[in-house]
Structure 1
Amino acid sequence: MNEQDYTERTYAGVLGKIVGVYLGRPVEGWAYADIVERFGRLTHYVNDQLGIPVVTADDDISGTFAFSRAVLDHARTGPLTARQVGETWLNYIVEDRTILWWGGRGRSTEHTAYLNLKNGVPAPGSGSARRNGRTLPVQVGAQIFVDGFAMMSPGDPDRAAAHARAAASVSHDGVAVDAAAFIAAMEALAYIEPDLHALIETGRAQVADPVLQHIIDDVLAWCAPGADWREVRERIEKTYGYSVFDGPCPATTNNAAVLAALLLGGDSFHRAVSIAASAGWDTDSNAGVVGALNGIRLGLGALDAEADLRSPVADRLLVVTADGGECMSDAVQQTRAIAAGRRLLDGLPPAPREARFAFELPGSVQGFTPCLDVGSPYTRVAVANVRPRPGGPAGPDASGLVITCAGVTESVAAAVSTPVFLPRADGGDNFSTIASPTLYPGQRVRLTARLALGTSHAAPTLRPYVLIETDARMEATFGPELLLADEPRELVWEVPEVGANPILRFGVAVTSMGRFDGDVVLERVDWSGAPVRHARSGVLMTSIWDLTPEPLRAWVNSAKNFEADFRYSYSVSHPEGTGLATIGTRDWDDYTFTSTLVFNPHERGGLVVRARGHRRYYAAVFESWQRISLVRRDHDREAILASAPFAYTEDVPYRVTVSCHRDRLTVRIDDAEVLTASDTAENAHSSGGAGFLVTTGTVLADGFEVGSLAGPDR
């Protein structure tokens, strides 16, 4: 398999996963009879009929793309272990808020496993039947999170199954782990084998449980050519339905539903996900698994062959974790992350870094859609890709986003934009959505654009812009103009300060002195590293009844109480153990982070830098009123890099700066250097966000400032 084929099939698998989840999500938890009465068979998204967004937070998506980070986070070229995946859970999950169904110990399989991990029981013990009883460990959650691991092992079903078992056993045992290995083996082989029956036979070689073997045999027999999917669904209900097994959501029932949808859908991507989403049971999980497998097996062409399920999604997805800057994502970026994991497992060097938005995959738009907050309603604008969807006309040998404009003038703009943070109204419904923006004032945006071949000779210009929300309306801040021509031209814009509220969208607007009808190609858009300078200061609270004003939404907190303070900017408080509040993205590498800290009673408190999740970071930690230490936290391991006596006092402000530049870390207090260290260990942290830390107590923080230490060409 060549690299391009692997990448495109992985992209199709990621798209298939999110399309299936979004199709089935609105009816998750509905009785089958209610689905039939309201919708018949779900052939397209029904979100508009129910008043909910298509793209929203979901455990199937967040868990799939967060937990597979275990491969990269542990930099493993050998077999992945359950213990490592369990550590990944603890790093990215914010208790009671992200990824999981928090249904309580003894009821929710994943919640129970998380509490075991938190209390010092490593995986696989955390998910074992010996600890959790016979019912909880055999629910559906194991098979819904393994797609990322499978896509890192193309053509290698044994490696995919081994990694799926490691991941599944964090929370599950028995038949549920077999079901996860069954799915992962099929997905891995689907890269090189399109025959569904061959995939099933390979997958079932991973199954030891006799009940699951019987399910596979029965569903194969029931899904003979010409079988009606509703009749097959009734046979599954009678023989393997929820009433047959214990627990709220048995893996066995849902594995039968997945297998039936695959067989009855045949080589129609649309029919298969439609059946999975319409049959009841765990609709979003089952349709997501079916979509991922068939995306890999059938390729991008199958996603575009029937109903258009891609355009409403526009590649967008949310990965809601403690690594807040990774929440706002898209199918292209997740494809790159999976491909990076595959290269690591195969012992290959990392691929060259792509621009944040390079539009390199067929049909990809990476969240860009027409934007009426800036564009005029009196012009027409559409987005597509230079590399079209399969079956479309051939484009030039370059990637890019095509912005098709009609009726553009000096005062009538065409605009497109992509989200870099969530508006408050898009916070989701069933699953908590916490995130940090991906773009900040002080960051340098680089973009390259041109006119498409054959475009009219009008001289349009392109201007980048960002949007924030102020007083319930969108407010745009524009960058400089770029005069477009046939050859690519580059523009660099340092985003200015735009007020206290976070940036919500980044976009480009096209205008022209004379009427312009034609195509503009946005070849790439990029920013990386920490802002040149980004600061917030002052009291954020406007009312004693509003402890979470808009600027606080840019932070992700595992500290139980992270609130605006009536005297300082932030109050960070945690009743027991360690909690964090962080901001920024994982590509912030060389920078300084400064804040004025005021200590209330606590065990430890301070600043963190290069945080990727809330258990992997560096921290300048004040301890017990008498010492300051510079530490590296790596999951449950903490190394002291430097330490010194330092007496500090309650309610006295201390201006603290932590600098990280390459392998050198420095701590300054009130402009005096107190600690410095060099970290060249194999598990040193190279980049990540910044923020505050507190252990059992409260730390107050008055403002913050981030400043890049990278060169001017970043």
Structure 2
Amino acid sequence: MTLSQDLYLQKIYGGLLGKVTGVILGAPLENTFWTYDQIKNAYGEITSYVRKYKQFAADDDINGSLFIIRVIDDIFRKNGTITSKDIGNIWLNYISSNRGMIWWGGYGKSTEQTAYENILSGIKPPVSGSIQKNGKPLAEQIGGQIFVDTWGLVFPNEPDKSSYFASLASSVSHDGEALEGAKFVAAAVSSAFSSDTIENVFIKALSYVSKDSEYFKILSDVYHFYKKNPTNWREAFEYLLKIKYNDDLKYPGPVHIIPNAGIVALSLLYGEGDFSKSICIATMCGMDTDCNAGNVGCILGVFKGPEGISETWKSQINDSIICSSSMGSLNIIDLPTISRYIGNLNRVLHGEENAKENEINLDFQFVGSTHGFKTNHSEKILMRNIEDPYDSKNRCLQLILNETKGYTIIDLYRSFFYIPSDLDDEKYGPMFSPTIYSGQEISCRILPNNIPNGTQLIASLYAKTANNKELISEMRVHLNSNEWQFLKFSIPDSEGEAIKEVGIRIYIQGKNNYYGPMFFDDFKISGKVDYYIDFSKQPEEFGSVRQFSFNKGAWRNINGVLDGTCSDFGSIYTGNFYWKNYDFSTTITPIFNNNFGIIFRCRGNLNYYLLKFAEDNVSLEKHTFEGKLYLTNKVMFKTLLNNNYNVRIIVKEERITVFLENQKIFDIFDENPVDSGCVGYMIFNGTRITINKFSLKEI
């Protein structure tokens, strides 16, 4: 079946929404603390979330699914192929050592950590995840199937390709039965795009599992039990998971894939195509609840589409997820935007276009989407996504108000940066860099209906920093009934602080209640960044210093400057992953040893330019997945401890120009450039540095 582009994207969105819903539902009830019987006795029949989160900090299920798939953009786009070694490089590129992304439970205990450290030490995939290297118990844990849903999303109605690449990706860290799980889950997601029943999805996906595997056996047993006893899922669980496949010696480890595979199968079949019923069964079964409900949720989300997921589940997510990669700007995600990115990856696979997500364009075109917007009066305002009443081909955000008599201020806003108080926990080590900056322009359009006589509505745009300083537009628009009106605002100097929030402020004044509705659409952020960082305003948080993500080293704010030290190596990053042309100035001071560098156009731990300082020279290097390349001869320059060094780097298209102490030291043309990326610093061999000046302007 051929999918229209719109339907394809809607179903990607449904799959991601379903994945996140299942993970959030299951996360509080994992088998670390809960069993099937305890869940049953405490909650009975689960029909909704068991915990409310301010903002859920993504765990390994979501992190892995969204970042491993970037191999298509980072490597396939250039080489036209994908190997397990390529996917291993993606691990090293986006995962910070001992922080974020995966479960750091210890080498030999956490399958993913074991594989990561194997790759880091030179043991390449697929040996890094093999039974031969790590042993059968470790290699056959559930991680083999929890990161692979997105392979089904990029290969709609192509279960043969999705299962192949899912197995390839899983082989980086897993082996044996775990690879069968990868094939099944990815094939199920792919098949769900056009199948007419969830039973057919199950049967199709099962056909990609090796018939002599234990994975095939348990799924077949679940299916046969279901066909004979199709009404009571608890009977199936009691027989299959508490009796027949309840063998810790045969299925060892904290989360072996086989019993959890049975739960996924049971939930799909007994859920009968109902999204809520399916993910709730997966959760009530216990074991690895977030993984199982997440996989089931993605399959059902694609099958049903976003319209098949009730507001009960959507409202807590509010389209907003955060991740834990080493690239801070990529960790702030809204589901519609990442859905479009995944849709573009499908086009990259077919040679049609590059996958880019550097523009912020929030247009509410996905059914039910909010792009993470909130209001300051949630108790008085109903916010929902609807079809544009003035254009049936468009969708927008609708606000219905209550109790707005007199003088009322309504803020409709979204977070583009996070601080610790925004989150419930930091279990998976999130880190953030801002995604909007001084110098950029905000724009949107708004339409109020039915403004009563004697009531006045005035709107303006605003931004707010992480320290709660408000930057309010001087452009205030008097709103007219039944008329779309445009607003725009150039973000002024934030005085070295991170921009955390932007939105539209509506002033309502009148003797009568105003109920609306109001319609909001086409929120865009464009223009060139022009900002600096005042380190005295950046507290230590998320294991580093505000606005920075990192990979190894100790990074602190000491006496109002950024201070970095390491035993062997460390790197720290800030800025936007998609910055291309810019003029970057900084002042760096070596305190102990003098092996350090400035990173620019950085696209991960392995992919960047490096201006590298040694004791008596400076060099310019390019690092890619293929290795290191010196771009020109070294320049002799002696660095002295406790001396300040002023550096200016200008990158424009293929040209790189570097000034040191106002003297041009490099001016080169790179025919095959790293085409965009953030900036940062790197330290080697126990070096300690401080940074007290930082400014950047896009050109």
TM-score, with normalisation over the residues of structure 2?
A: 0.92
Deviation at 1:167, TM superposition (A): 0.8
Q: Which residue, out of 463, 478, 498, partners 1:483?
A: 478
Alignment of 1:493 onto 2:482:
no
In the alignment, the residues of structure 2 paired with residue 467 and residue 664 of structure 1 have an alpha-carbon distance, to the nearest angstrom, of 35
**Residue number in structure 2 paired with 1:462:** 459
C-alpha displacement of 1:97:
1.1
Q: In the alignment, what sits opposite 2:301?
A: 295
**Structure 2 CA distance for aligned equivalents of residues 352 and 253 of structure 1:** 39
SS at match of 1:518: coil
Q: Deviations over 1:567-620 (max 9, x none)?
A: x6111222124x211111222222122211111344631211222222212221
Question: Are 2:434 and 2:498, in contact at CA under 8 Å, matched by a contact in 1?
Answer: no
- Cα offsets for 1:160-184 (capped at 9, x unmatched): 0111011100100011011101111
Q: CA deviation at 1:42?
A: 2.2
| Residue correspondence of structure 1 range 332-371 to structure 2 within 5 A | 332-350=336-354, 355-371=360-376
Q: Summarize the Cα distance change of 1:31–1:692 in structure 2 as closer, same or farther, 3 Å threshold.
A: same
* Aligned pair partner of 2:628 in 612, 617, 638: 638
Matches within 5 A, 1:544-555: 552-555=545-548
Structure 1 residue 275: Cα displacement: 0.5
Seen in structure 2, the aligned counterparts of structure 1 residues 285 and 551 have a Cα distance that, compared at 3 Å, is closer
Work out the number of aligned pairs and report it.
683
Task: Specify whether residues 587 and 491 from structure 1 end up closer, same or farther in structure 2 by C-alpha distance, changes over 3 A only.
Answer: farther
- What is the aligned partner in structure 2 of residue 285 from structure 1? 291
Residue type of the partner of 2:498? P
Cα distance, 1:572–1:387 mapped onto 2, change above 3 Å? farther
Give, in whole Å, the separation in 2 of the partners of 1:158 and 1:198: 16
Any conservation in 2 of the 1:56–1:426 contact (CA below 8 Å)?
no
Give the whole-Å Cα distance in 2 for the aligned partners of 1:15 and 1:97. 25
Distance in structure 2 (CA, Å) of the matches to 1:356 and 1:337: 12
What's the offset of the Cα at 1:498?
3.9
Higher mean C-alpha displacement, 452-461 vs 433-442: 452-461
In structure 2, the partner of 1:163 is 165
Contact 2:426 2:542 in 1 (8 A): no
Which amino acid is 1:559 matched to?
A: K
Alignment of 1:427-446 (within 5 A): 427-429=423-425, 431-446=427-442
Aligned equivalent of 2:382: 382
Contact 1:626–1:646 at 8 Å: present in 2 too? Answer: yes
SS at match of 1:362: coil
Name the SS for the 1:347 alignment partner. Answer: coil
The C-alpha deviation readout for 1:20-76, integer Å capped at 9, x for no partner, is: 10111111121222211221232111114xxx5462221111111011111111134
Deviation per CA, 1:293-344: give whole Å up to 9, x if none: 011112222213xx62111211111121001111111211210121111110
Residue of 489, 497, 518 corresponding to 1:520? 518
Given residue 296 of structure 2, which amino acid in structure 1 is its aligned partner?
V
Q: Which residue of 2 aligns with 1:151?
A: 153
1:115 aligns with 2:111: no
Match of 2:597 in 1: 606
CA 1:200/1:280 → structure 2, altered by over 3 Å: closer, same or farther? Answer: same
CA distance in 1, matches of 2:386, 2:441: 22
Q: Note the aligned Cα RMSD (angstroms).
A: 2.6
Q: Could you report, residue by residue, the CA deviation over 1:269-293 in whole angstroms, capped at 9, with x for unpaired residues? A: 1000010011100000000000000
Work out which of the residue numbers 661, 666, 677 in structure 2 matches 1:688. Answer: 677
**How far has the Cα of 1:108 moved from its partner?**
0.8
Amino acid of the residue matched to residue 109 of structure 1? T
Matched, 1:597 2:588: yes
Distance 1:610 1:491 in 2: 33
Residue of structure 1 in register with 2:70 after alignment? 69
**Residue 559 in structure 1 maps to residue 552 in structure 2:** yes
Return the alpha-carbon distance in structure 2 between the equivalents of residues 86 and 551 of structure 1.
26
**Amino acid of the residue matched to residue 11 of structure 1?**
Y
- Displacement, 1:201? 2.8
Encode CA deviations 1:250-270: one digit per residue, 9 max, x unaligned.
111111100100000012110
Deviation at 1:394, TM superposition (A): 9.9
Contact 2:585 2:649 in 1 (8 A): yes
Q: CA distance change for structure 1 residues 640 and 492 in 2, over 3 Å: closer, same or farther?
A: farther
Tell me which of 39, 45, 51 is aligned to 1:47: 51
Asked if structure 1 preserves the Cα contact closer than 8 Å seen for 2:616 and 2:636, the reply is: yes
| In structure 2, C-alpha distance between the alignment counterparts of 1:344 and 1:699, rounded to whole Å | 42
1:709 matched residue in structure 2? 698
Counterpart residue number, 2:252: 246
Tell me the residue number matched to 2:193: 191
Aligned to 1:670: 661
Report SS of the residue matched to 1:422.
coil
Structure 1 position 479, deviation (Å): 2.1
CA distance in 1, matches of 2:264, 2:330: 29
After superposition, what is the alpha-carbon deviation per residue over 1:2-30, rounded to whole angstroms, capped at 9, x for unaligned?
10110101100010000110111111121
Aligned residue in 1 for 2:231: 227
Q: Is the Cα–Cα contact under 8 Å of residues 138 and 172 in structure 1 kept in the other structure?
A: yes
Q: What's the CA shift for 1:440?
A: 4.4
Indicate the percent of aligned positions where both proteins have the same amino acid: 26
Kindly state the Cα deviation for residue 138 of structure 1 after the two structures are TM-superposed: 0.3
Q: Confirm or deny: 8 A CA contact 1:421 1:435 kept in the other structure.
A: no
Tell me, in whole angstroms, the C-alpha distance in 2 between the residues paired with 1:482 and 1:504: 24
For structure 2, the 5+ residue unaligned runs are none
In structure 1, the residue corresponding to 2:155 is in which secondary structure?
Answer: coil
3-state SS, counterpart of residue 91 of structure 2 = helix
Q: Secondary structure at the match of 1:386?
A: strand
Tell me by how many angstroms 1:111 deviates: 0.6
Aligned residues of 1:137 and 1:171 also touching (Cα < 8 A): yes
Q: State the distance in 2 between where 1:494 and 1:536 align.
A: 19
- Which range moves more in the overlay, 256-265 or 292-301? 292-301
1:265/1:271 contact within 8 Å kept:
yes
Counterpart contact for 2:267–2:282, Cα < 8 Å = yes
Change in CA separation of 1:509 and 1:612 when aligned onto 2, cut-off 3 Å: same
Alignment of 1:2-17 (within 5 A): 2-17=4-19
With over 3 angstroms needed to count, the CA separation of the structure-2 counterparts of 1:680 and 1:153, relative to structure 1, is: same
What is aligned with 2:261? 255
1:480-515 Cα deviation digits (max 9, x unpaired): 323334444433323234455533322221113545
Query: Does the 8 A contact of 2:197 with 2:273 survive in 1?
Result: no
SS in 2 for 1:42: coil
Q: Which residue of 2 aligns with 1:214?
A: 217
**How far, CA to CA, are the matches of 2:498 and 2:693 in structure 1?**
15
What is the DSSP-based 3-state SS (H/G/I as helix, E as strand, rest coil) of the residue aligned with 1:701?
Answer: strand
Report if the CA contact (8 A) 1:467-1:503 is conserved. Answer: yes
Over 3 Å counting, the alpha-carbon distance change for 1:339 and 1:652 in structure 2 is: same
Q: State the match for 2:184 in structure 1.
A: 182
Name the SS for the 1:20 alignment partner.
helix
Given candidates 94, 100, 103, the residue that maps to 1:101 is 103
Cα distance in 1 for partners of 2:171, 2:189 equals: 19
Cα distance in 2 for residues equivalent to 1:601 and 1:594: 22
- Structure 2 CA distance, aligned partners of 1:442 and 1:504? 11
* Offset of residue 368 of structure 1: 0.7
User: Which amino acid is the alignment partner of residue 690 of structure 2?
Assistant: A
Unpaired segments ≥5 residues, structure 1: none
Does the residue aligned with 1:619 lie in a helix, a strand or coil? strand
Name the CA distance, whole Å, in 2 between partners of 1:300 and 1:177.
29
- Give per-residue Cα distances to partners, 1:117-172, cap 9 Å, x unaligned: 11111111110111111111000001000011210001111110111011100100
| Partner SS for 1:308 | helix
- AA matched with 1:360: Q
1:574 and 2:566 aligned: yes
Write the distance in 2 (CA, Å) between the matches of 1:627 and 1:530. 34
Give the 3-state SS of the residue equivalent to 2:515 in structure 1: strand
Q: 1:356 to 1:649 in 2, by over 3 A?
A: same
